[in-house]
Structure 1
Amino acid sequence: MAVDTATAGAPSTGRLAPARAGRGRASGWLLLLPALVALTVFFVLPLLSVVVDSVTEPQTGLGNYASLFTDGYTLRVLGRTLLVALVVSLVGVLLAYPYAYAMTLVGPTMRAVLVTIVLVPFWTSMLARNFAWMILMQDEGVIQRMLRPFGFGDVTLLGSTLAVGISMTQVLLPFLVLPMYSAMDQIDRRLLAAAQSLGAPRARAFRRVYLPLSMPGVIAGVSLVFVLALGFYVTPALLGSTRNAMIAQVINVRAKELLDFGGAGAMGVFLLAVTLAVLGLSRRLAGQRLAAVAPGYQPARSHGKEGQPAQVRPWLKVHTVLVAILLVAPTLVVIPMSFSSGSTFQFPPDGWSLRWYERLFTSPQWTAAIFNSIQAGLFTAVLATVLGTTAALGVQRLAPRWRGAVTGFLLAPMIVPHILVGLVVFAAFLQAGLNGTLLGIILAHTAMAVPFVVIAVTARLQGMDARLPGVAASLGASPLSAFRRVTFPLLLPGILSGAVLAFVTSLDEVVIALFLQAPGAITLPVQMFNSVTIQIDPTISAASSLIVVLVSVPILLAQVISARRGKGR
């Protein structure tokens, strides 16, 4: 009772004494110091080094940047990359918007199923999904056989830009659905009913009311997908060809094979500039939309009469089913493939066997790759969780004028194109002697995973009552005891979420691991990539199936349990 009384009676806002406020801000900087140093050493300084190389190698000047627009080949690659990223974003919007809209109309159980269909490919290994598309698009594959009766003949997809675009659209579709659904979920559907009651037809009410309110989610999803598509490497490398190369492939060749860090750095810096421009523009557009259509808007959702699911039109049902098949089917291809008795990537298999699972767990190459991935993931999770948690606690204690800049610095590795991060790490670690070592992979993955921990812990901090530690102190608890008994238990779910995100980020990361690979430092994603590009090894189907099952089952159970709890309440 004493705690409740103190909490209720404490002022919601107030000024700390100057000395206490100064100590709090000083402790905030101390908590931030480890993360700031780590990101500076393993991310910022290498990035600056690549920027310097872009204007000094092979000679001082802007020759590398000039060649981007004067060299015919490079200009074609840049144009192709920008065009593919734009088309993938626009086609993705057309597929994702109705699906996200349907998620807001259905009941809790069906919504849990639709969310799971999005989350399973979201968390499933990108290599597994690209491998599935490679099987479907290969000569005499399922897609080619399906198109023959329609008079298309033997359409060759594998190795084309179209194949890259189709796979990238499916891989990036969850990044469009989730922000759109998040925005739509906050819209009060009674606004549509109000517009129709004033004489507006259903289509006009949707276009004039619902669509503008959902635009922040659309803008966020499109900008995110466009930025991610710019730095895609795995999909073009597996499904494309050198004739239709994208910029990430050219950067990889220039850096790893030609050691042309100046030219590769100029391409990477150009990608970074485009990324920052797109993110800045999207933030401005999203802010204008919010200010124009919903000033001070407080949502109060209503799915239908008495909270029942709203009606889903037949065309929307068909679209939702087709998008769900697009999201899930390619991933499920690898499961029957893993039981194939053949030594090729033929689908459906001619015979059945467990030989590839046996090889997965007995082959020295695969077992070493699995062990390296687990080891790298665990060390990355521990380091990133410690750095990210202390950084989030430190940001909370800073003066408001510093929080935005420091948070932006901590999240910087997330907005830099992945291929540029791989180039930065490769160039820096090559000089430091960390290239080709598991330690180098762990340090690079830690720098990439820290932002995810910061986001998870910060979200938890924002949901906490900041007065609780003060209440504990007023009852005689020391600062350490208040943190251990009050703050830490409340933060634990966010810390654990951040740790899981860090582990999964490391487990699925392939671009940096490809740059840093060596015979003793090959992770599971690298082994899977090599099993397709260097040697035809169907063991990748067993590895992919194992990842799909380990990811999809917990997500499905969590969604069903959450839906039942929500329905019960």
Structure 2
Amino acid sequence: MAAPTAAPPATADPPAGERAATGLLARAHAAGWLLLLPALVALLFLFVLPLLTVVIDSVTDPSLGLGNYASLFTDGYTLRVLGRTLLVGLVVAVVGVALAYPYAYAMTLVGPTMRGVLVTVVLVPFWTSMLARNFAWLVLMQDGGVIQSFLGLFGLGGVTLLGTTLAVGISMTQVLLPFLVLPMYSAMEQIDGRLVAAGQSLGAPRMRAFRRVYLPLSAPGVVAGMSLVFVLALGFYVTPALLGSTRSAMIAQVINVRAKELLDFGGAGAMGIFLLVVTLAVLGLSRRWAGQGGPAVAAGSPPARSRTGGEQASEVRPWLRVHTTIVGIVLVAPTLVVIPMSFSSAETFRFPPDGWSLRWYQELFTSPEWLAAIINSLQAGIYTALFATVLGTTAAFGLARLNRRWRGSMNAFLLSPMIVPHILVALVVFAAFLRLGLNGTLIGIILAHTAMALPFVVIAVTARLQGMDGRLTFVAASLGADPVSAFRRVTLPLVMPGILSGAVLAFVTSLDEVVIALFLQAPGAITLPVQMFNSVTVQIDPTISAASSLMVVLVSVPILLAQVVGGRRQRRSTR
């Protein structure tokens, strides 16, 4: 009788629930890539490929090799401009820290009401047009202006500011101060103030305890703020062009001349790529340094700055009160100048005005050139907000569905336009659109602004998605809702504040952007910031004072409305 044959070994099939979960996860990843695809393609054609073209031009135009890069360090003029740009960026960062650190520290000491006032003062520059702020500094620093008159009280009335590197540095410091205050305050509010008191109780004087305990703990915020301000200062164009001169030119002005007037894309590209390399190096080093230490709190207790509505303010010393007041005045000074100037009856830039009139508002809304610029800006802003919101929102949902291995790299790619110096972005767009015939067209400006605004939408929507309980959609599905209904009735209302915030940021980014619009301008495609820039550099037109006030309103009102709507939605959700 034959022996029975051995049965083949049984293969252990995964449970049905595990197979279903794996299938759902795979479909989620596939859906994530599909949602990401439109934004990735947009950035690829609007940003990455043009950037690669500039890189290629920098080593092939006019001849193959590294001659354009070698000239950066051998040509005397270019080397001086590079050195001046790096020095101004460093000085602005250092002086900014000296001004911002005590202000941020004061924000951690005062009560909630006063802290709200100080935070609002810091945010005022974000709500004020860049060109409006520079116009205000131009008025304040001109010969016979307020600052020169003030210096005259100390026997320095003959000092000329306008057209100097000092004027550029002062304006850049004021513009970039919020980028220093906010990271520092974010780090300081996590430090338990009792640590300094503990150091004093061990016999250390107050200043030594502050220097040995508090200062190291706040260092990550200082490093983050300084590095951000330094790299932003490298790409400044508008401020040096309006307040400086050709004798004190910075690298962005030279790039503009080489690209637009000389069509030397190789030399301009080498300068832009050099700025990008410096930017990446500074950001990389600052991230490494800032990551070596972090804020600390006393064990077993919440951070001292996590206060309730009944918190008590700590003692603020008189010198700190004076310093905070002076910095607050510096932050809001441009806004306080722009609005009164718009009602001046004089035909020159003079503050305070000698007389009052509405003539410049009448000129603003009756002049064909100014009206066309306003309409172009509103059209560009609306279309940019629409395109960037759709692309950024779908990309944020796509990122949420990717696994961690890909999520970080894709997020970095989507945010890459934010870390590239602004003047390099303008050069990249100008060189690419010149070949495509999009220069001098409104659609070209809209496409370029979409690439710039996309990261803001991604950040706003992603932040909202991270704060949402993902189990809510499964609850809706368990109650019989199909995926479309669950998205429309549950997910979309919860994410809507982030989408609206992203749309507002995209609109404001386009509305206030001037460097790219300057590169792409043509008689039929002049935006309001470009018209304002030309009204100072090409012709002296006091209508810019009314236009500056209009820009303050157009920039600040959407942001304030978004905050009000977001606050109401948050209060409703907590009831």
Q: Using structure 2 for the length normalisation, give the TM-score.
A: 0.92
Residue number in structure 1 paired with 2:218: 214
Q: 1:559 to 1:505 in 2, by over 3 A?
A: closer
Distance 1:350 1:139 in 2: 16
Residue number in structure 1 paired with 2:12: none
Is the CA contact 1:105–1:310 (under 8 Å) kept in the aligned structure 2?
Answer: yes
Residue number in structure 1 paired with 2:14: none
Correspondences of 1:326-345 after superposition (within 5 Å): 326-345=330-349
Q: 1:306 to 1:296 in 2, by over 3 A?
A: closer
Q: 1:474 to 1:563 in 2, by over 3 A?
A: closer
CA offsets 1:79-132 (integer angstroms, 9 cap, x no match): 000000000000000000111111111122211211111111122111111111
Distance 2:298 2:46 in 1: 42
Is the CA contact 2:112–2:309 (under 8 Å) kept in the aligned structure 1?
Answer: no
Residue number in structure 2 paired with 1:187: 191
Distance 2:431 2:360 in 1: 36
Amino acid at match of 1:505: T
Residue number in structure 2 paired with 1:417: 421
1:452 pairs, out of 453, 456, 467, with 456
Q: 1:117 to 1:554 in 2, by over 3 A?
A: farther
Residue number in structure 2 paired with 1:250: 254
* TM superposition shift of 1:299: 3.0
Correspondences of 1:479-498 after superposition (within 5 Å): 479-498=483-502
Distance 1:543 1:297 in 2: 52
1:134 pairs, out of 124, 127, 138, with 138
Is the CA contact 1:392–1:454 (under 8 Å) kept in the aligned structure 2?
Answer: yes
Distance 1:160 1:201 in 2: 43
Q: How many residues align?
A: 554
Distance 1:175 1:448 in 2: 18
Distance 1:545 1:289 in 2: 44
| Local SS of the residue matching 2:294 | helix
Q: 1:292 to 1:556 in 2, by over 3 A?
A: closer
Distance 1:76 1:293 in 2: 47
1:63 pairs, out of 59, 62, 67, with 67
Correspondences of 1:129-528 after superposition (within 5 Å): 129-290=133-294, 299-301=303-305, 307-528=311-532
| Local SS of the residue matching 1:465 | coil
CA offsets 1:179-222 (integer angstroms, 9 cap, x no match): 11122222222333333333333222222222222222111111
Residue number in structure 1 paired with 2:97: 93
* TM superposition shift of 1:493: 0.5
* TM superposition shift of 1:561: 11
| Local SS of the residue matching 2:72 | helix
* Structure 2 residue 15 is the aligned partner of structure 1 residue 21: no
Is the CA contact 2:190–2:295 (under 8 Å) kept in the aligned structure 1?
Answer: no
Is the CA contact 1:175–1:225 (under 8 Å) kept in the aligned structure 2?
Answer: yes
Q: 1:295 to 1:129 in 2, by over 3 A?
A: farther
| Local SS of the residue matching 1:544 | helix
Is the CA contact 1:384–1:449 (under 8 Å) kept in the aligned structure 2?
Answer: yes
Is the CA contact 1:189–1:303 (under 8 Å) kept in the aligned structure 2?
Answer: no
CA offsets 1:383-417 (integer angstroms, 9 cap, x no match): 00010011011011111111111000000000000
Correspondences of 1:34-73 after superposition (within 5 Å): 34-73=38-77
Q: 1:500 to 1:304 in 2, by over 3 A?
A: closer
Q: 1:123 to 1:404 in 2, by over 3 A?
A: same
Distance 2:149 2:179 in 1: 31
Distance 2:521 2:258 in 1: 17
Is the CA contact 2:105–2:188 (under 8 Å) kept in the aligned structure 1?
Answer: yes
* TM superposition shift of 1:350: 2.0
* TM superposition shift of 1:558: 8.9
Amino acid at match of 2:85: T
Is the CA contact 2:190–2:297 (under 8 Å) kept in the aligned structure 1?
Answer: no
Distance 1:304 1:471 in 2: 33
Q: 1:343 to 1:297 in 2, by over 3 A?
A: same
Distance 1:109 1:469 in 2: 38
Distance 1:451 1:305 in 2: 34
Distance 1:28 1:473 in 2: 20
Percent identity over the alignment is 81
Q: 1:377 to 1:558 in 2, by over 3 A?
A: closer
Residue number in structure 2 paired with 1:3: none
Is the CA contact 1:112–1:559 (under 8 Å) kept in the aligned structure 2?
Answer: no
* TM superposition shift of 1:349: 2.0
Amino acid at match of 1:466: G
CA offsets 1:230-272 (integer angstroms, 9 cap, x no match): 0000000000011110000000000000000000000000000
5+ unaligned residues in a row in structure 1: which ranges?
Answer: 1-13
Is the CA contact 1:268–1:419 (under 8 Å) kept in the aligned structure 2?
Answer: yes
Distance 2:142 2:53 in 1: 41
Distance 1:209 1:564 in 2: 40
Correspondences of 1:512-551 after superposition (within 5 Å): 512-549=516-553, 551=555
* TM superposition shift of 1:373: 0.6
Is the CA contact 1:96–1:177 (under 8 Å) kept in the aligned structure 2?
Answer: yes
Is the CA contact 2:138–2:242 (under 8 Å) kept in the aligned structure 1?
Answer: yes
Q: Using structure 1 for the length normalisation, give the TM-score.
A: 0.93
Distance 1:147 1:264 in 2: 39
Q: Report the more deviating stretch, 15-24 or 176-185.
A: 15-24
Residue number in structure 2 paired with 1:8: none
2:116 pairs, out of 104, 112, 122, with 112
Distance 1:52 1:367 in 2: 40
Q: 1:133 to 1:147 in 2, by over 3 A?
A: same
Distance 1:312 1:293 in 2: 21
Distance 2:564 2:189 in 1: 19
Q: 1:382 to 1:305 in 2, by over 3 A?
A: closer
Q: Report the more deviating stretch, 203-212 or 383-392.
A: 203-212
Distance 1:297 1:412 in 2: 39
* TM superposition shift of 1:550: 5.2
Distance 1:223 1:41 in 2: 29
Distance 2:363 2:135 in 1: 18
* TM superposition shift of 1:302: 5.8
CA offsets 1:281-332 (integer angstroms, 9 cap, x no match): 0100110122999999963536699721111110000000000111111321
Q: CA RMSD in A?
A: 2.5
